[in-house]
Chain A
Amino acid sequence: MQYLPNILFAILLIIGIGFFAKNVKKLVRNIKLGKAVDRTDNASLRLKNMMNIALGQSKMVRRPIAGILHIIVYVGFIIINIEVLEIIIDGLFGTHRVLSFLGGFYGLLIGIFEILALLVLISVIIFWIRRMVIRIPRFWNKEMKGFPKNDALYILYFEMILMTLFLTMNAADTGFQQANSGNVISQFIAPLFSGFNPETLHVIERTSWWLHIAGILVFLNYLYYSKHLHILLAFPNTYYANLNPLGEFNNLQSVTDEVKMMLDPNVDPFAAPDESEVNDDSMPEKFGAEDVFDLNWVQLLNAYTCTECGRCTSVCPANITGKELSPRAIMMKTRDRLEEVGKNIDTNGKFKLDDKSLFTTISDEEIWACTSCNACVEECPVNIDPLSIIIDMRRFKVMEKSAAPQELNVMMTNIENNAAPWQYNQLDRLNWKDEN
């Protein structure tokens, strides 16, 4: 019976981590549903971007208040997790504060953890106030109803509870308080327990300890179901992000091949297709994106990385002027569709057609309202690219469905006929020279 807590702890740990690992596998599988895109070039620049943007949070501070608060929570989160190492050793081997042999250094470490815990607690409360009291508009756009809104709040509550448990655990630890080293914050909480007998204190300390580690494991597993995956995916997302100038849209190779053939006077238009190239199983490649399978894996990674902060939407000229388009909603709807496809595969073994697509939730009105100004891409703290998804969806609409807005069809017909978006004769192109 003596080892019961240790066994319980080990089971909890295995279930917690095992379940998370299972979901990570699913996540990777879903991201791999995307088309191939080569992002293996320029490793040193990619690494640098990841260090600056994900680890260094350089784009967060474009908005100083939210940025600095976020850095506190982030640094706190990472550093306090060193404490988890001790908790795991203690839990598995039945020790208590196994690292305390480090003496003064241990006190220093725990002291830093306590200060950070308090700062995190304060920051998270300010985050809550910004959302719920000040009601900053980007947290209240229409895509932020229901789960997305609650999701954000659950995460804040979670952090508040975890930090409180950590400080309570320290405050109720009689030995730790008596040692009086590193209890910089908890010494002020300890007096609350002054009249308590040692058994009660021990129960409070143990309860906090168990809830703290259990809370961490639950939080870890909540990640997959929430917008909060960014704490992990921000790293690959910034590493694999596009490095080209933002104005450069990719050229579709499948189109290049066809256009070259059309422009080549030596091509025999009536030639039978080369036997070796004919493969009955393969469909000709689709132009643009109708569903998540037509996006590349980086775009799908983008969708899972989005934490719905809404900075993109708050700078989008279309959204600012009341249009339906919200770049954040594009990312959320892409992710939700990807999740739906993932569940479909879980149920059926492989994807079973479900007559849904990205267009089920993303409207024409949204994709045609975009000015391709790149404000959303520039603003995203983790280099997500909503614009590329919008453009790929336009490509599907135009090239597969011939369903561009009528005025754009006129513009394109003009370009085809007279090499200008307006109906002017190409031979008049130099007339300006002689006009007054």
Chain B
Amino acid sequence: MNVPTMAELTAQGIQPEVLFWVGCAGSFDDRAKKITKAFVKILNKAEVNFAVLGTEEGCTGDPAKRAGNEFLFQMQAMTNIEVMNAYEIKKVVTACPHCFNTIKNEYPQLGGKYEVMHHTQFLKSLLDEGKISIEGGSYKGKRITFHDPCYLGRANCVYEAPRELIRKLEVELVEMKRCKSNGLCCGAGGAQMFKEPEKGTKDINVERTEEALEIKPDIIATGCPFCNTMMTDGIKSKEKENDIEVLDIVELIANAQDL
């Protein structure tokens, strides 16, 4: 797998067109790593001139900021900004809506000004430029629902790019009752991913999974590694893992083409 780092390319005097910000989940979480690889396969196939920071990348600080630790957030932010500015990064793409939101909205004030895209937006632009094609493959005709990540949807008003990609797969896109700006959170945001939930009557991911099950999808498509984990857990808790798959949009596109 061809994954150049910024350090390597800079040594060769090459300035890549876009930095792929992998994120902590994409780097370390076994499930999310598959999403990372699927995205890289598509980038390679489309011959996108990209690079990753590799070991020079560090947490954006998102969970620290949402947990109220502004110090730690800004330490992370300034460290990352220093690295990215040193490489003269202009454009960033990431498969994590939390990294996307943080770098896009919270880094500029601290000196990190980049064009930031979510991977679904980036893939949409590749599609529009004719650099990739999307076909249904084995997914053709399947019922797919898209779970809006809060930090992509409400937080940044990106609702259509992921849906346009899904429609290209020649599938039946079905919407949950609460979707787009009314979408229900998976339960992971605001640093909840890293702690047990407070006492309640139900887990949020179960509530969301039940809503998805109501419309009987074959696949729940996600655009966030944390949503993916939460929905996968939800499906398991309902013992539906043999009937329903939880896949990132980029995995759907890569799998359909047997990449």
Question: Which residues of A are at the interface with B, using a C-beta cutoff of 8 A?
Answer: 62, 244-249, 251-252, 255-256, 258-260, 262-263, 287-288, 315, 317-318, 320-325, 365, 368-375, 377-378, 391, 393-399, 404-405, 407-408, 410-412, 415-416, 419-422, 424, 426-435
Contact A247 B151 (CB under 8 A): yes
Question: Which residues of B are at the interface with A, using a C-beta cutoff of 8 A?
Answer: 1, 3, 5, 22, 24, 26-29, 33, 36-37, 52, 54-55, 57-59, 61, 63-72, 74-76, 78-79, 101, 104-106, 109-110, 150-151, 154-157, 178, 181-185, 187-204, 206-208
Residues of B within 8 A of A434 (CB): 1
The answer, among A255, A323, A371, for a CB contact under 8 Å with B190, is A371
Contact B22 A419 (CB under 8 A): no
Contact A259 B191 (CB under 8 A): no
Contact B194 A245 (CB under 8 A): no
Could you write out 8 A-B pairs with CB less than 8 Å apart?
A375-B154, A378-B181, A393-B68, A396-B68, A407-B196, A412-B72, A420-B58, A429-B22
The answer, among B59, B184, B189, for a CB contact under 8 Å with A372, is B189
Contact B28 A422 (CB under 8 A): yes
Residues of B within 8 A of A287 (CB): 70
Distance in Å: Cβ of A296 to nearest Cβ of chain B? 15
The answer, among A369, A374, A395, A424, for a CB contact under 8 Å with B68, is A395
Contact A411 B37 (CB under 8 A): no
Residues of B within 8 A of A249 (CB): 65-66, 106
Residues of A within 8 A of B66 (CB): 249, 372, 391, 394
Contact A318 B198 (CB under 8 A): yes
Q: Which residue from chain B places its CB closest to the CB of A257 in the assembled complex?
A: B74
Known interface pairs A317-B187, A415-B59, A419-B59. Does A371 touch B74 (Cβ–Cβ under 8 Å)?
A: no
Contact B27 A430 (CB under 8 A): yes
Distance in Å: Cβ of B246 to nearest Cβ of chain A? 18
The answer, among B69, B78, B203, for a CB contact under 8 Å with A412, is B69
Known interface pairs A374-B150, A411-B63. Does A391 touch B182 (Cβ–Cβ under 8 Å)?
A: no
Contact B74 A256 (CB under 8 A): yes
Extra contacts, 10 of them, besides A375-B150, A395-B69 (Cβ < 8 A), are: A248-B106, A249-B65, A262-B75, A263-B79, A317-B204, A323-B197, A369-B198, A398-B68, A412-B67, A426-B55
The answer, among B52, B105, B182, for a CB contact under 8 Å with A244, is B105
Residues of B within 8 A of A431 (CB): 27
Contact A410 B194 (CB under 8 A): yes
Residues of A within 8 A of B59 (CB): 415, 419-421
CA distance A415 to B79 in the complex (A): 12
Q: Which residue from chain A places its CB closest to the CB of B194 in the assembled complex?
A: A411
Contact B55 A429 (CB under 8 A): yes
Distance in Å: Cβ of B238 to nearest Cβ of chain A? 15
Contact B156 A247 (CB under 8 A): yes
Residues of A within 8 A of B36 (CB): 432
Residues of A within 8 A of B184 (CB): 315, 317, 320, 375
CA distance A352 to B24 in the complex (A): 48
Residues of A within 8 A of B187 (CB): 317, 371
Contact B156 A430 (CB under 8 A): no
Q: Which residue from chain A places its CB closest to the CB of B188 in the assembled complex?
A: A371
Contact B3 A430 (CB under 8 A): yes
The answer, among A62, A255, A321, for a CB contact under 8 Å with B71, is A255
CA distance A371 to B230 in the complex (A): 13
Contact B199 A324 (CB under 8 A): yes
Residues of B within 8 A of A247 (CB): 101, 105, 150-151, 154-156
Contact B68 A432 (CB under 8 A): no
Distance in Å: Cβ of B114 to nearest Cβ of chain A? 15
Residues of A within 8 A of B150 (CB): 247, 371-375
Q: Which residue from chain B places its CB closest to the CB of A366 in the assembled complex?
A: B198
Contact B78 A421 (CB under 8 A): no
Contact B185 A246 (CB under 8 A): no
CA distance A371 to B52 in the complex (A): 29
Distance in Å: Cβ of A290 to nearest Cβ of chain B? 12
Residues of A within 8 A of B156 (CB): 245-247
Residues of A within 8 A of B24 (CB): 419-422
Known interface pairs A259-B74, A408-B67, A412-B69. Does A421 touch B194 (Cβ–Cβ under 8 Å)?
A: yes
Contact A324 B74 (CB under 8 A): no
Contact A321 B207 (CB under 8 A): yes
Contact B76 A252 (CB under 8 A): no
Known interface pairs A245-B155, A247-B155. Does A252 touch B70 (Cβ–Cβ under 8 Å)?
A: yes
Q: Which residue from chain A places its CB closest to the CB of B52 in the assembled complex?
A: A430
